[in-house]
Structure 1
Amino acid sequence: MALPSIQNLIQDIRYVIMRFPLEIAFAIIGSIAAIINIRTGYPDTDQSYWFTRVIMTANLGLLFSLSASLYLESRAVKGPRLYLFKIIVALLASGLIFLLNPALQEDDYQRFFLLSLAGHLLVSFAAYVHADSVQGFWQFNKTIFLRFLTSVLNSGVLYLGLAAAIGATKFLFNVDLGSNSYSILFVLIAGIFNTLFFLAGIPKDLDTLNEDFTYPKALKIFTQYVLIPLATIYVIILLAYEAKIIIEWNLPKGLVSNLILGYAVFGILAILMIFPIREQEENKWIKTYARSFYFLMLPLIVLLFLAVGTRVFRYGITENRYFLIMLAIWLLGVTIYSLLSRKQNIKVIPISLCIFTLLSIYGPQSAFSVSEYSQKKILTDIFKRNNAFKDHKMTRLKSISAKDGNRAARTLRYIIEHYDYQALQPYTNANLDHVSDSLEHTKEATKANKYSRKYFLREAKVSWVQSQLGLGKFSSSAYGDYESNEKRMIEDAYVVKNKQPDLTNVAGYDYVMQDHSADNSDVTVSGNLSITKTIKNKGWVSVKINNDSALFDLKALIGTLPKDPAKQDGYKFNGVAHEYNLPSGALSIVQETKNFRIVYQVNSISYSRGENKVLKDYIYSYGVFLIKVK
Structure 2
Amino acid sequence: MKFPSVKNLAQGALITIKRFPFEVLFALAGTIAGTVKIELTLLNRVNESWCARTIMIANLGLLLSLSASLYSESKGITGSKKMLLRLTAAVLAILLIFIINPGERESDYIRFFLFSLSFHLLVAFAAFTVKGHIQGFWQFNKTLFLRFLTSALYSAVLFLGLAAAIGAMNFLFNFKFEWDTFAILWAWIVGMFSTLFFLSGVPADIHGLDEDFSYPKGLKVFTQYVLIPLATVYVAILLAYEIKILVQWQLPKGMVSHLILGYAVFGILSLLLVYPIREQEENKWLKTYTRSFYFLLIPLLGLLFTAAGTRVFRYGITEMRYFLILLACWLLFITIYFLVTKKQNIKLIPISLSIVTLFSIYGPQSAFRVSMFSQRRVLVEVFKKNNAFKDGRLTPVDSVKISRKDGNKAVATLDYLIAKHDLTSLQPYFKEDLGKVSDSLSKIKYTGSVIRIGSMSDYELRYAKLEWAKKRLGLGPFSQYGGDEDEVDAPAKINGYTFANRIDDVHTVRNYDYMVDIYGTGSDTAAYTVDGIAIKKIGNGDGIYTLQLNNQTTSFNIRPYLDSLIDAKAIKAYSTLNKQSSDAYVLPDDKLVFTKETKDFGVTLKVDRIGFSKIKTIQINYIHAYYLIKRK
TM-score normalised to the size of structure 2?
Answer: 0.74
- Find the counterpart in structure 2 of residue 379 from structure 1: 379
> Which of 407, 410, 415 does residue 408 from structure 1 map onto?
410
1:191-214 CA-to-partner distances (Å, cap 9, x unmatched) read 111111111111000111111111
- Find the counterpart in structure 2 of residue 105 from structure 1: 105
1:10, CA displacement in angstroms? 2.5
Where relative contact order (Cα < 8 A, 6+ residues apart) is larger, the structure is 2
Letter in 1 for 2:470: Q
Q: Could you tell which deviates more after superposition, 114-123 or 432-441?
A: 432-441
1:122-178 CA-to-partner distances (Å, cap 9, x unmatched) read 111111122411111100000111111111222222222222333334444445555
- Find the counterpart in structure 2 of residue 423 from structure 1: 425
Query: Conserved in 1, the CA contact under 8 Å of 2:72 and 2:82?
Result: yes
For residues 367-516 of structure 1, what are the structure 2 equivalents within 5 Å? 367-397=367-397, 400-436=402-438, 439=441, 447-448=451-452, 452=456, 454-473=458-477, 475-478=478-481, 485-487=484-486
1:481-508 CA-to-partner distances (Å, cap 9, x unmatched) read xxx7444576889999xxxxxxxxxxxx
CA distance in 1, matches of 2:494, 2:50: 47
3-state SS, counterpart of residue 205 of structure 2: coil
* Distance change (3 Å), C-alpha of 1:42 and 1:85: same
Query: Conserved in 2, the CA contact under 8 Å of 1:139 and 1:209?
Result: yes
1:390, CA displacement in angstroms? 3.4
* Distance change (3 Å), C-alpha of 1:240 and 1:174: same
CA distance in 1, matches of 2:155, 2:383: 57
1:457-490 CA-to-partner distances (Å, cap 9, x unmatched) read 54443344334434344x23258xxxx7444576
Query: Conserved in 2, the CA contact under 8 Å of 1:492 and 1:608?
Result: no
Query: Conserved in 2, the CA contact under 8 Å of 1:360 and 1:367?
Result: yes
* Distance change (3 Å), C-alpha of 1:121 and 1:572: farther
Q: Is the counterpart of residue 148 in structure 1 residue 151 in structure 2?
A: no
Letter in 2 for 1:69: S
Query: Conserved in 2, the CA contact under 8 Å of 1:413 and 1:462?
Result: yes
CA distance in 1, matches of 2:445, 2:179: 36
* Distance change (3 Å), C-alpha of 1:244 and 1:494: farther
1:383, CA displacement in angstroms? 2.8
CA distance in 2, matches of 1:121, 1:264: 18
* Distance change (3 Å), C-alpha of 1:519 and 1:175: closer
1:9, CA displacement in angstroms? 2.3
For residues 294-313 of structure 1, what are the structure 2 equivalents within 5 Å? 294-313=294-313
Letter in 2 for 1:153: L
1:304, CA displacement in angstroms? 0.4
CA distance in 1, matches of 2:395, 2:260: 43
* Distance change (3 Å), C-alpha of 1:250 and 1:534: farther
* Distance change (3 Å), C-alpha of 1:462 and 1:194: closer
1:439, CA displacement in angstroms? 4.8
- Find the counterpart in structure 1 of residue 512 from structure 2: none
* Distance change (3 Å), C-alpha of 1:269 and 1:489: farther
- Find the counterpart in structure 2 of residue 30 from structure 1: 30
CA distance in 2, matches of 1:224, 1:570: 66
* Distance change (3 Å), C-alpha of 1:607 and 1:192: closer
Unaligned runs of 5+ in 2: 496-520, 526-537, 541-566, 573-581, 584-612, 622-632
3-state SS, counterpart of residue 104 of structure 1: coil
What RMSD in Å do the two structures reach over aligned CA positions?
A: 3.5
Letter in 2 for 1:420: D
* Distance change (3 Å), C-alpha of 1:271 and 1:388: same
* Distance change (3 Å), C-alpha of 1:173 and 1:435: closer
CA distance in 2, matches of 1:231, 1:339: 18
Query: Conserved in 1, the CA contact under 8 Å of 2:522 and 2:539?
Result: no
* Distance change (3 Å), C-alpha of 1:429 and 1:29: closer
Q: Is the counterpart of residue 85 in structure 1 residue 85 in structure 2?
A: yes
Query: Conserved in 2, the CA contact under 8 Å of 1:493 and 1:608?
Result: no
Letter in 2 for 1:19: R
CA distance in 1, matches of 2:286, 2:445: 69
Letter in 2 for 1:476: S
1:388, CA displacement in angstroms? 3.5
1:452, CA displacement in angstroms? 4.6
* Distance change (3 Å), C-alpha of 1:171 and 1:437: closer
Q: How many residues align?
A: 517
CA distance in 2, matches of 1:280, 1:485: 54
- Find the counterpart in structure 1 of residue 587 from structure 2: none
Q: Is the counterpart of residue 351 in structure 1 residue 351 in structure 2?
A: yes
Letter in 2 for 1:282: E
Amino-acid identity (%): 55
- Find the counterpart in structure 2 of residue 228 from structure 1: 228
Letter in 1 for 2:276: P
Query: Conserved in 2, the CA contact under 8 Å of 1:416 and 1:423?
Result: yes
* Distance change (3 Å), C-alpha of 1:458 and 1:205: closer
CA distance in 1, matches of 2:492, 2:255: 26
1:82, CA displacement in angstroms? 0.7
3-state SS, counterpart of residue 271 of structure 1: helix
1:410, CA displacement in angstroms? 2.2
1:455, CA displacement in angstroms? 4.4
Query: Conserved in 2, the CA contact under 8 Å of 1:63 and 1:119?
Result: yes
Query: Conserved in 1, the CA contact under 8 Å of 2:442 and 2:455?
Result: no
Letter in 1 for 2:426: L
- Find the counterpart in structure 1 of residue 529 from structure 2: none
1:315, CA displacement in angstroms? 0.5
* Distance change (3 Å), C-alpha of 1:391 and 1:175: closer
3-state SS, counterpart of residue 447 of structure 1: strand
Letter in 1 for 2:194: N
* Distance change (3 Å), C-alpha of 1:389 and 1:81: same
1:379, CA displacement in angstroms? 1.5
Letter in 2 for 1:361: I
Query: Conserved in 2, the CA contact under 8 Å of 1:413 and 1:476?
Result: no
* Distance change (3 Å), C-alpha of 1:64 and 1:292: same
Query: Conserved in 1, the CA contact under 8 Å of 2:133 and 2:210?
Result: yes
3-state SS, counterpart of residue 42 of structure 2: coil
Unaligned runs of 5+ in 1: 497-516, 522-532, 536-568, 577-605, 610-615, 621-630
- Find the counterpart in structure 2 of residue 362 from structure 1: 362
Q: Could you tell which deviates more after superposition, 238-247 or 218-227?
A: 218-227
Query: Conserved in 1, the CA contact under 8 Å of 2:155 and 2:190?
Result: yes
3-state SS, counterpart of residue 127 of structure 1: coil
1:539-574 CA-to-partner distances (Å, cap 9, x unmatched) read xxxxxxxxxxxxxxxxxxxxxxxxxxxxxx999999
Q: Could you tell which deviates more after superposition, 78-87 or 452-461?
A: 452-461
3-state SS, counterpart of residue 128 of structure 1: coil
For residues 512-527 of structure 1, what are the structure 2 equivalents within 5 Å? none
Letter in 1 for 2:136: G
1:263, CA displacement in angstroms? 0.5
For residues 246-285 of structure 1, what are the structure 2 equivalents within 5 Å? 246-285=246-285
Query: Conserved in 2, the CA contact under 8 Å of 1:491 and 1:608?
Result: no
* Distance change (3 Å), C-alpha of 1:88 and 1:519: closer
Query: Conserved in 2, the CA contact under 8 Å of 1:608 and 1:619?
Result: no
- Find the counterpart in structure 2 of residue 612 from structure 1: none
Query: Conserved in 2, the CA contact under 8 Å of 1:139 and 1:212?
Result: yes
CA distance in 1, matches of 2:4, 2:391: 77
* Distance change (3 Å), C-alpha of 1:26 and 1:490: farther
1:259, CA displacement in angstroms? 0.6
CA distance in 1, matches of 2:446, 2:10: 58
3-state SS, counterpart of residue 383 of structure 1: helix
* Distance change (3 Å), C-alpha of 1:177 and 1:412: closer
* Distance change (3 Å), C-alpha of 1:231 and 1:454: closer
1:444, CA displacement in angstroms? 7.2
For residues 155-166 of structure 1, what are the structure 2 equivalents within 5 Å? 155-166=155-166
Letter in 1 for 2:128: Y
